[in-house]
Structure formats: C-alpha cells, structure tokens
Chain A
Amino acid sequence: MNIVVCISNVPDTTTRIKFSEGNASIDTSGIQWVINPWDELSLARALELRDDPASGVKKVTVAHAGPASSEPTIRKALAIGADDAIRVNCNPSDAYYTAGQLAAAIGKEGFDVIICGIESSDFNGSAVGGMISEFIGIPSVSSVSGLNIDTGVPVITREIDGGRESVKVPVPFVAIVQKGIAKEPRIASMRGIMTARTKPIKVHEPVDYDSLTEISGFEKPAPRAACKFIDADDPAKLIELLQNEAKVI
C-alpha cells in the first residue's frame, strides 16, 4: 500500500507579506518557504503509518506542483522521511489548475491513499483536495481528523458537531485532513537530511489545464489602532470616548 501526500510550498508563517505589481501579486523576495503546516502534519501521519508494520503501508511519496525553486521544500519533506517525490514543473495559478496537474501526475503513479491538507496557509482556498478526487474519479473524505490503516483497510475519523464520525471508504481515495491528524510535525533527523540529498524527485511536465480564476488584487487588513488607557478614576472620560470616538453608545 502506498500513500502520496500533496505538499504546498508556502511562506513561513511569520512572514510580513508584501505585494507587488499593483497589489495583484505577492512580493516573494526575502520570503522563507516552508511546507504548508497542514501538509506537514499529513506527512507526519503518513510516516507514522509507514513505520507501523501493522498498517501495510510500504511507501510514502510527496507530490508538489510548482517550479524548480520549490525543491528545497520538497527536499525538506524527503529529509523528514518521505521515500520519494513527484514535482509537476509549473507555476500554479489557481486551485483548479493545481488540482489538475497533481491529479494527472499522481494518477499515473497509482496510489492507494492521497492525503491533502485541508487548506494551504497562503491562499486558504480549501479546494485542491476535493478537485483532485474529481479529476481522478475516486472518493474523497473531507475534514479528516484521524486516519488509521489496519492491514490495508483504512479507517477514517471526522470531527463533527458534538461528536465523532467513523467513515469507511474503498481505496484509492483522497483524505482531506485537518490539524488533529498527527500530534506534532516530525523533524528531520541527520540521517534523513543526508539521505534526502540523493532521494529521487521525479519531474513531470504540466498537462494542459486552464486557470479558472484570477486574483485581481490583495489588500492588507487595516492596522490595529493603538490601545487607549483611561484613568480608572475617570469613568466620564470612558463614556465620552465610547460615545464620541468609538460611537458605540
């Protein structure tokens, strides 16, 4: 049984995002790229399954749609423990295009479980996972918080309102996972880092897909106003500010 984990290459969560080209694209200069946190946890879970002989999982592959510049992020995933990688050599522009490329590449390889993080921390589109299953024509389960595989039979848990749901699904399928999927991300061991340098990354050329959406502009939230301190002995001042400045009473 083989698992493929789709990974997205996103700016580190502390990045101060800047825009360029008239606020229509992100200024990527100086950005530290990391594995999307949801995908990182997916990978951690996939590796746990592979390392557990009872699961029957033999191999974990990571798949990524993106240019050669994202290879350090793929190598990171390999260092953490993935066995090999697939990269579709393209510049993804929207979820439809990304899902199409990944589906084409993954579909060719033949996998039993495809795991996608529920969203990526850059555009938060939450669409790629579902689309991949559609493109390949296999079932998908969303908001997965637990994935177990017992000698080749997947058992899925989902957090639902006020409880938990267990889902059975035939392989192959797409699991769209939430943060609870693994307790913590794995870190790369030294051997992992060393072997990652020579693990194979298979590069696919993109297939013909259109982008169906286009980002016309970004804007940042208004900066938070400074906090005003009022003397505790002066409630009149508070009322005045609430009435005239905040205009809430």
Chain B
Amino acid sequence: MLKQLIFIVIFIITIAVFGYTVNRLIKFFSFTRPAFPVKDFRKRFGLVMRVAFGQTKIFRRPVIGFLHALVFWGFCVIIFGSIEMVIDGLSGAEKSLRFLGPVYDVLMAAGDVFALLVGISIVIFTIRRSLLNVRRFSGEEMKPKSHIDAIVSLSLILLLMVSLILMNTGYLGFQRLSAGEIYGIYPVSTIVSDLFSGFSASQFHGLYEVSWWVHILTIFFFANYLPYSKHFHVFMSLPNVFLSRLDPPGKLDNMESITREVRMMLNPDTAFAQAPADAVPERFGVKDVVDVTWKNYFDSLSCTECGRCTSVCPANLTGKKLSPRKVMMNLRARMKEIGPLMVKNGKDYTDNRSLLRDYISEEELWACTTCNACVQECPVNINQPSLIVDMRRYLVLEEGAAPVELKSVFSNIENNGAPWQYPPEDRLNWTKNLEFEIPVFSELPAGKKPEYLFWVGCAGAFDDRYKKVVRAFAVILNRLNVSWAVLGKEETCTGDPARRAGNEMLFQMQAMQVIEILKNYDIKKIITTCPHCFNTFRNEYPDLGGNFEVINYLQFIERSIAEGRLKVNREKMKGVKITFHDPCYLGRANNIYSEPRDIAKAISAGFTEMKRNRSFALCCGAGGSQMFKEAEKGTREIFIERTGEALETGADIIATACPFCMTMITDGLKYANREEDVRNLDIAELVAEAMEIQ
C-alpha cells in the first residue's frame, strides 16, 4: 500500500513536470509560422512504417544502422513492459497485463531479449563515441555539453536495460523459490538467474524490488530529462517522420506573399497601387525563430545531432563553415534562449539578437549547394535546405544582401534573361552549322503544333562547351523524327538560380513570364537537358499555374533505346570505361538514377560506378547558385573532390548530365591535369557518338 502511494505521488510529479515541459513547448510552437497542411494520411502512415519502423534511412549505414535499429525496435517492445509497470504501480497489482496470455509471453520474451541486445548496442555506441574518433561526432557545433548529453543518455539507457534484466531475474528467482506461477517468458533472465544460484527467495525478491524501482524511476527521470536534451528525438522522431514534408526534395516552397505582389505588379490596374495592408507580411524569409515554420522547429527538436547530414554535406566535407546539423541545433538553441522571454514578455519581445548572424552566419548560408544530401541522409526526415534558403530569402528580399557575383546574376536575369551577360538575340547561336533546320515556335506556319518543346536553357544557348551537348541532343531528336521545336529568342531563364539564391521575387517574375509564353503556344510537353530547368518546371511551376508534362532528356533517350526507336552501336565504344556522375537535381531531387546507367550500359560494357553513387553521390559543387559565385572559404574545392572520386574508377569517360556538373568536372580534369586522357562527355554526346552521326 505504501509502495502504491509512493508510486502515485512520484507518478503525479512526473506527469506534472512533463506537462509543464509540453506546455512550454506548445507556447514555443505558437511563436512559429504555419507550414504545409498535414494531409495524405495514408502516405504518411506508409512513411512511418518504412522510415521509422523499417529504419530504412538508418540502414544507409548498415553496420551501425543495424545496432540503432535494434535499440529502436527494442524500445518499441520494451515500452509494453513499462506501461505494465505503471499500471502495476498505480493499481498495486503485479503483472497486470498477464491476461494477454500467449501475446504476453511473446512481449515479455522479446523485451527480455531486446534488453540484452539494446544493452550491448549501447555499450558499443559508448565505446565508439568515447574511444574511436568518429568524424561526425566532432565539429564546431559539438561542444563538450553535446558529448556529455550523449553519454548521459547512453548511460541512462544502459541503466534501464540492466535494471530490466535484473528485475526479470529477481522475478524469476523469487517465483521459482517461492513456487509461485511465472507469467511471461524470459530467455535472457533465465540464464542470468542461474548466475545467482546462491540467492535466497527474499534476496531475489529484494533484487526484483530494487530493480523495479530503479527501472521505473529511471524511466520517469529520462522522460523529463529528454525534452531538455538532444535525445528528445526519442519522443519527436516518430511524429517528425509522420509530419514529413512530402514534396520532392528539389522543390522549394512558393512564397505566396511574393506571388500576390508579383501579380499586382503585372496587372496594370494595380501596378502602382498601395498593397493592401493584410497582404504584406511582417518579414520576408527567416531572420529569427518567429519567422520559421512549426515544421522547422519540429525538425530541430527531432535532431539528435547524429551528424549524418553534416558528414555528407559537400560544403562541410571541403572545410567550409556550413554544417546542416549546426543549423538545426542553432534553431533549437535560439528558441531556448528567446522562447521563455517571449512567453514572459510577448511575441514582440526582442533581445536584439537573432538566429541569423548571432547563430548562423551569412558565410554558412552561402556555402549551401542545395544538393539535398543532408535531406537524403537524415534518418528522421529533417529538411535543412528549406530553412537555409529561407534565410537567404531574408537576406536578399529584406536587405538586398547577397554575394556580389549573385547580384550581377540577378541583374543579368532581370535585364537579359540569363544568368550570364548575353543578349536573347544570341540564343540560337548553338544551331549554326547544323545539317538540319531547328524548328522555332515563332517561325512555325500557323496551326502547326509540335508535340514537344525542347527547352534549351541558358547554358545550352550560351555556354560554349554545353552548346555541343544541346547540339548532340538536337541531332538525336532529329534522328528520332519526333515533332519538336525550340523557343529561340523567346526563351528566358526559368528563374532557378535566382530562387536558390533567395531572390524569390525575380524567380516568380521569370516563372510567370515563361508560363505565359508556354501557354501562348499551347505547349503541353517539355523536354529539358538541364536538370535545374527540369526540376523547376516539374516541381515548382505548378505552384504558379504552370502544369506541363516535363520530361528529362535521359528519360526520353532511355525510352527510345528501350523501345528500339533509337539504335546504338555497341562496337563504337567497345572497351571504353564509362562512369557517371549523378546530378543532384536529377538524382536526389527527382529520383532519376537508372536511366543514365541504362543508356551508358547500352553503349558500353565498361560501365563502372564511383564509390559514392546514386543517392549517395557527392555534389559537383555548383548547385544552389554556387555555379555563379566563388566558393566560400574552405580547405578544398568540391569539384576537385568529386573529380578525384571519378578518376579513382579509372574511367576513360566521365559522363555527366547537367551543364553545371559539366563545367565543374571539366575544370576538375584540368586541375588534375587529366584532360588529355579522360574525357568529360554528356550522356547525349555519348549517344550521338554511338549513333555514328556526329
């Protein structure tokens, strides 16, 4: 009875403290902005089954991933025992779930076995963390506090597991010696209890009681420690996976406030009118915690600082300041700093500090290539780049602050419709000296409607090296006898570089202009070579009313080969070793992995993979508008790193499928002094070569 009373008091205290924490967090969440509406429950349920219960992303690192999976699954099972202990404690009963019968046996047996497995995993984790020098456990953001926090959490879990096994051992020994009935099966504890052969019934009972209390008190303490620790992910990661952003990772969210503004400007009736007061947001982009969405904050609370994101970040790998993990940790820390003050003094309270600059520097933000490697890797589906871009948006839209090269890119896109300074008149220069006429929409006879628009892109029109790629693809299109045309001088930048550099206004101006041109010609299907244009058309234009069927040229070529319409000569590149560098905006952003490989394999038997390939591929360093600016300060260049990985394969040809990747890899070959013996070709050029028609 006394035990029951003590338990009830402790339980109420636990719940009260936890309630206080939850209440505090709810208040913090109330300071954030809305994000996407949570719909598609079926999809979300599937995601939870795969990513959370299936631990699919954890398994991207198979060995250590397996150990984590054991811990996770162990927790899932052991929790039933914990619930039972609470019921027992409150009711004064013992083994109150035993009415479950065989199910109870299975639950108890699994819990008992998992307690051992989890315990072993935790010991390995602790040794690994404290003795082995794991790179991702270090970094600027990993202060001693983070390590202490980790060790405390690991120790508490170990204590939970040890106390659980000892509790079961005590239970078994006592029941055996006092001839009581044993409910549940305990394979591990049965063996352990043999070690305590000299124990009397009362000693076993004492062991049971002590372990029981240690276990349940540790749980109560742990539950209230977690929300103030990095290990809060024990509570948050499952809901975070459920609440995942379901959009493709390559898609950036549309800023509705900008859309309203652009529409007003484009409408002559409202162009010079004052914007309605309710249409103007307090701030464009993210400067501080009040500008982030609830999902950003949820992400930050789900982060357990495992560093998988940072360990694959091309910027971080090459010594730049950016660390996606730090961005999440900073958001959490900033809310911890200002949140309580805002609770006290109201949301408008300011301490003259902000997430941007006081926690996250501009240099960090401008180092991101938006390659989405961090997103791909995060075991709990955190989205770091969207927050990074939102902070860039603040810098550009509110302060007009951006690296000087990007300011020129903005001016160029605005003035001449391309990130580089070339006039639209020159957009068809790549077609010179082709043996056939390139059909141009504006010059077609009335009533003629080609099936496809071939979107050449600014690189196709103006980059001397990449012009050869679009020529090769035009040759393929011409050979295939499909009905297609280009926009020529009417083409203009899709706005992608502006959007990724934070200039949402310019992006939307460009996008609306492009959508109008395409609608004027009643264009339904678009083929692109540039993955950045592809991603923008496919994932981002629908938000602005541009719904088209968007096809990447690799999909188009692959289908043509598979269906036998396009014949390639395997003899032509016999014995040539080809490797393929995955562009981030085809691979991770849009899940196009097999097509380039199928094409390369159709051409040559010598296809070889780089160590990091497909969704593991390292960015070339040019994404997220990095193409147009100097890299932020670091120890190495990303393109040198990636080219080095490609050269390690011993390939004769490094195949690419993106104009920016091509520039970077070609530069990398020059840097490595290998441009004589290794060629950097686009997949379209490979195909055109194998067609024997160049």
Instruction: Answer whether A187 and B407 are a contact pair too, CB < 8 Å, given A14-B421, A14-B422.
Output: yes
Indicate whether A184 reaches chain B with its CB closer than 8 angstroms.
Answer: yes
Indicate whether B273 reaches chain A with its CB closer than 8 angstroms.
Answer: yes
Asked whether, in the complex, the Cβ of B416 is within 8 Å of the Cβ of A32, the reply is yes
Instruction: Answer whether A194 and B402 are a contact pair too, CB < 8 Å, given A14-B423, A32-B416, A187-B411.
Output: no
Instruction: Answer whether A16 and B273 are a contact pair too, CB < 8 Å, given A34-B415, A190-B397.
Output: no
Closest CB-CB distance, B270 to chain A, in whole Å? 9
Indicate whether A12 reaches chain B with its CB closer than 8 angstroms.
Answer: yes
Interface string of A64-101 (1 = CB under 8 A from B): 00000000000000001000000000000000000000
A191 to B400, CA, bound (A): 9
Asked whether, in the complex, the Cβ of A14 is within 8 Å of the Cβ of B416, the reply is yes
Q: Other than A193-B265, A194-B261, give 4 A-B pairs with Cβ distance below 8 A.
A: A184-B404, A185-B407, A186-B400, A189-B396
A197 to B276, CA, bound (A): 13
Asked whether, in the complex, the Cβ of A12 is within 8 Å of the Cβ of B416, the reply is yes
Closest CB-CB distance, A28 to chain B, in whole Å? 15
Set of chain B residues within 8 Å of A190, measured between Cβ atoms: 258, 261, 284, 397-398, 505
Indicate whether B271 reaches chain A with its CB closer than 8 angstroms.
Answer: yes
A185 to B275, CA, bound (A): 27
Indicate whether A198 reaches chain B with its CB closer than 8 angstroms.
Answer: yes
Indicate whether B99 reaches chain A with its CB closer than 8 angstroms.
Answer: no
Asked whether, in the complex, the Cβ of A188 is within 8 Å of the Cβ of B400, the reply is yes
Asked whether, in the complex, the Cβ of A189 is within 8 Å of the Cβ of B407, the reply is no
A15 to B410, CA, bound (A): 17
Interface string of B398-409 (1 = CB under 8 A from A): 111010100100
Closest CB-CB distance, A102 to chain B, in whole Å? 24
A32 to B416, CA, bound (A): 7
Asked whether, in the complex, the Cβ of A16 is within 8 Å of the Cβ of B425, the reply is yes
Set of chain A residues within 8 Å of B407, measured between Cβ atoms: 184-185, 187
A86 to B492, CA, bound (A): 33
Of residues 195 to 233 in A, which have CB atoms within 8 Å of B's CB atoms? 197-198
* Interchain residue pairs with CB less than 8 A apart (10): A14-B412, A16-B425, A183-B404, A184-B407, A185-B407, A185-B411, A187-B411, A189-B399, A190-B398, A197-B274
Set of chain B residues within 8 Å of A186, measured between Cβ atoms: 400
Asked whether, in the complex, the Cβ of A197 is within 8 Å of the Cβ of B273, the reply is yes
A15 to B425, CA, bound (A): 8
Set of chain A residues within 8 Å of B426, measured between Cβ atoms: 16
Set of chain A residues within 8 Å of B399, measured between Cβ atoms: 189
Indicate whether B280 reaches chain A with its CB closer than 8 angstroms.
Answer: yes
Which chain A residues have a beta carbon within 8 Å of chain B's beta carbons?
A: 12-16, 32, 34, 80, 183-194, 197-198
A139 to B623, CA, bound (A): 51
Closest CB-CB distance, B46 to chain A, in whole Å? 39
Indicate whether B436 reaches chain A with its CB closer than 8 angstroms.
Answer: no
Closest CB-CB distance, B314 to chain A, in whole Å? 27
Closest 5 pairs between A and B when the two form their complex, measured CB to CB: A190-B397, A189-B400, A14-B423, A12-B415, A14-B416
Of residues 271 to 297 in B, which have CB atoms within 8 Å of A's CB atoms? 271-275, 280, 284
Set of chain B residues within 8 Å of A34, measured between Cβ atoms: 411, 415
A130 to B59, CA, bound (A): 73
Asked whether, in the complex, the Cβ of B275 is within 8 Å of the Cβ of A16, the reply is no
Asked whether, in the complex, the Cβ of B423 is within 8 Å of the Cβ of A197, the reply is no
A13 to B404, CA, bound (A): 18
Set of chain B residues within 8 Å of A198, measured between Cβ atoms: 272-274
Closest CB-CB distance, A243 to chain B, in whole Å? 31
Look across to chain A and name the residue whose beta carbon is closest to the beta carbon of B257: A190
The size of the chain B interface, using a CB distance under 8 A, is: 29
Set of chain B residues within 8 Å of A13, measured between Cβ atoms: 415, 421
Closest CB-CB distance, A41 to chain B, in whole Å? 12
A183 to B265, CA, bound (A): 30
Look across to chain A and name the residue whose beta carbon is closest to the beta carbon of B505: A190
Asked whether, in the complex, the Cβ of B423 is within 8 Å of the Cβ of A189, the reply is no
Closest CB-CB distance, A183 to chain B, in whole Å? 8
Asked whether, in the complex, the Cβ of A189 is within 8 Å of the Cβ of B397, the reply is yes
A113 to B423, CA, bound (A): 36
A186 to B402, CA, bound (A): 10
Of residues 257 to 272 in B, which have CB atoms within 8 Å of A's CB atoms? 258, 261, 265, 271-272
Instruction: Answer whether A14 and B411 are a contact pair too, CB < 8 Å, given A184-B404, A190-B284.
Output: no
Interface string of B373-411 (1 = CB under 8 A from A): 000000000000000000000001111101010010011
A185 to B407, CA, bound (A): 8
A12 to B261, CA, bound (A): 25
A197 to B267, CA, bound (A): 13
Which of A191, A192, A197 contacts B272, CB < 8 Å? Answer: A197
Look across to chain A and name the residue whose beta carbon is closest to the beta carbon of B272: A197
Asked whether, in the complex, the Cβ of A192 is within 8 Å of the Cβ of B273, the reply is no
Set of chain B residues within 8 Å of A32, measured between Cβ atoms: 415-416
A183 to B403, CA, bound (A): 12
Asked whether, in the complex, the Cβ of A191 is within 8 Å of the Cβ of B398, the reply is yes
Set of chain A residues within 8 Å of B415, measured between Cβ atoms: 12-14, 32, 34
A16 to B422, CA, bound (A): 10
Set of chain B residues within 8 Å of A188, measured between Cβ atoms: 400
A6 to B274, CA, bound (A): 26
Closest CB-CB distance, B261 to chain A, in whole Å? 6
A189 to B404, CA, bound (A): 14
Closest CB-CB distance, B155 to chain A, in whole Å? 50
A184 to B402, CA, bound (A): 11
Closest CB-CB distance, A124 to chain B, in whole Å? 19
Closest CB-CB distance, B217 to chain A, in whole Å? 55
Look across to chain A and name the residue whose beta carbon is closest to the beta carbon of B261: A194
Set of chain A residues within 8 Å of B421, measured between Cβ atoms: 13-14
Asked whether, in the complex, the Cβ of B398 is within 8 Å of the Cβ of A194, the reply is no
A198 to B275, CA, bound (A): 9
Set of chain B residues within 8 Å of A192, measured between Cβ atoms: 400
A185 to B397, CA, bound (A): 16
Closest CB-CB distance, A58 to chain B, in whole Å? 21
Set of chain B residues within 8 Å of A193, measured between Cβ atoms: 261, 265, 505
Set of chain A residues within 8 Å of B410, measured between Cβ atoms: 187
A190 to B261, CA, bound (A): 9
Closest CB-CB distance, A9 to chain B, in whole Å? 13
A100 to B174, CA, bound (A): 108
Closest CB-CB distance, A121 to chain B, in whole Å? 12
Which of A183, A184, A189, A194 contacts B275, CB < 8 Å? Answer: A194
Interface string of B411-442 (1 = CB under 8 A from A): 11001100001110110000000000000000
A47 to B629, CA, bound (A): 25
Asked whether, in the complex, the Cβ of B271 is within 8 Å of the Cβ of A197, the reply is yes
Set of chain A residues within 8 Å of B280, measured between Cβ atoms: 194
Closest CB-CB distance, A16 to chain B, in whole Å? 5
Look across to chain A and name the residue whose beta carbon is closest to the beta carbon of B425: A16
Of residues 511 to 526 in B, which have CB atoms within 8 Å of A's CB atoms? none
A248 to B223, CA, bound (A): 89
Look across to chain B and name the residue whose beta carbon is closest to the beta carbon of A33: B415
Set of chain A residues within 8 Å of B423, measured between Cβ atoms: 12, 14-16
A196 to B284, CA, bound (A): 17
A32 to B513, CA, bound (A): 15
A187 to B407, CA, bound (A): 7
Set of chain A residues within 8 Å of B265, measured between Cβ atoms: 193, 197
Set of chain A residues within 8 Å of B396, measured between Cβ atoms: 187, 189
Closest CB-CB distance, A190 to chain B, in whole Å? 4
Look across to chain B and name the residue whose beta carbon is closest to the beta carbon of A32: B415
A194 to B283, CA, bound (A): 13
Set of chain A residues within 8 Å of B398, measured between Cβ atoms: 189-191
A13, A186, A190, A193 pick with most chain B CB within 10 angstroms: A190
Look across to chain A and name the residue whose beta carbon is closest to the beta carbon of B258: A190
Closest CB-CB distance, A48 to chain B, in whole Å? 12
Look across to chain B and name the residue whose beta carbon is closest to the beta carbon of A183: B404
Look across to chain B and name the residue whose beta carbon is closest to the beta carbon of A190: B397
Set of chain B residues within 8 Å of A187, measured between Cβ atoms: 396, 400, 402, 407, 410-411
Set of chain A residues within 8 Å of B412, measured between Cβ atoms: 14
Closest CB-CB distance, B427 to chain A, in whole Å? 11
